[in-house]
Amino acid sequence: MLTIKSLRVGLISSVFFVTGQSAQATDFEYVTPPEGQVKVKSIIYGGSGCPQNTIATSVAKSGLNFGISFDNYVAGIGDGFARHDKRKNCELRVELAVPSGYSYSIVDANYRGYADLDNGINGTFVSRYHFQGELSEATLARSVRGPINRDFTVSDSLDVESFVWSDCGAMAPVVLTTQLNLKKTHMAGTNAEGVVGLDSVEGKLTHRYGLKWKRCNN
């Protein structure tokens, strides 16, 4: 499996607003929430990459990450695909059940799927998130570049100064805006094609988000 962790996407800059609950300094200790108490309470979603009844969620018992898997999040470019198929998106409002006295931040994202891209075809994954009602927003972005024909995992992480924290007890849901884009570059041949989406093991495109926790006052 190809793993790409170190290269930052060139065309999509990671821009972070530092108002509201954004972290300014690590004047606290990271903690682990009580095991088994972090759960997905509710989820509302929609978009070209996530028709209804095509996603599933999971949360680690440790509460240190949660995952979203997609049954139909596939982008394609070239013969057999419409022009709009090169861009797919999904917006999700995820409400986590969070123990009282804890606040969390999404600090990294891992995207796992399958890519079959000719030379000169690039695929980009973008996740933006904020807590409903807050102005602070963070962006995670990574890319895969053709030629490639295999399962992949791409990862991105935030600097601590860019963390966006939930309210104490996480009363507001986190809003995730995700995008999957394919683009032909000047290196692509006339008939270059590509598809990114479901992996060959589970048949799903998976986003897994890492969480950091701190204690707070309700």
Rounded Cα distance between 117 and 183, Å, is: 10
- Select the more confidently predicted residue: 30 or 7: 30
Rounded Cα distance between 137 and 122, Å, is: 25
Rounded Cα distance between 21 and 170, Å, is: 12
Number of domains in the chain: 1
**Buried-exposed string 56-75: b where 16+ CB fall within 10 A, e elsewhere:** eeebeeebbbbbbbbbbbbb
Rounded to an integer, the average pLDDT of 190-203 is 86
Instruction: List pLDDT tens digits, range 155-189.
Output: 899 888 888 999 998 788 999 999 999 999 999 99
Which residues lie below 8 Å from residue 5, measured CB to CB, with a gap of 6+?
154, 155
Would the pLDDT of 72 be above 60? yes
In a domain, 36, yes or no: yes
Domain housing 38: 11-215
Q: Note the pLDDT of residue 92.
A: 95
In a domain, 6, yes or no: no
Would the pLDDT of 15 be above 90? no
Q: Copy the structure tokens of residue 201.
A: 């093991």
In a domain, 178, yes or no: yes
Tell me, what amino acid is at 50? C
In a domain, 2, yes or no: no
In a domain, 122, yes or no: yes
Average pLDDT of the chain?
85
Question: Order of strands across the sheet with 121-131?
Answer: 39-46, 87-97, 174-184, 121-131, 138-145
How many CB atoms sit inside 10 A of residue 174's CB? 22
Which pTM was predicted? 0.81
CA nearest to 49, candidates 93, 104, 99, 90? 90
Would the pLDDT of 23 be above 80? no
Rounded Cα distance between 129 and 176, Å, is: 5
In a domain, 37, yes or no: yes
The C-alpha angle with vertex 14 and arms to 184 and 61, in degrees rounded to 5, equals 105
Would the pLDDT of 2 be above 60? no
Would the pLDDT of 6 be above 80? no
Rounded to an integer, the average pLDDT of 90-95 is 95
Phi, psi of 161 (to 5 degrees): -65, -15
In a domain, 3, yes or no: no
- Select the more confidently predicted residue: 8 or 191: 191
Q: Note the pLDDT of residue 202.
A: 75
Would the pLDDT of 21 be above 90? no
Q: pLDDT band at residue 27, thresholds of 50, 70 and 90? A: low
Q: Note the pLDDT of residue 26.
A: 53
Rounded to an integer, the average pLDDT of 101-108 is 94
In a domain, 135, yes or no: yes
Which residue in this structure is represented by tokens 């949360």?
Answer: 59
Cβ burial of 12 (10 Å; 0-12, 13-18, 19+) is: middle
Would the pLDDT of 13 be above 90? no
Q: What percent of the chain has pLDDT over 70?
A: 86
Helix (H, G, I), strand (E, B) or coil at 86: helix
Rounded Cα distance between 162 and 159, Å, is: 5
Q: pLDDT band at residue 118, thresholds of 50, 70 and 90? A: very high
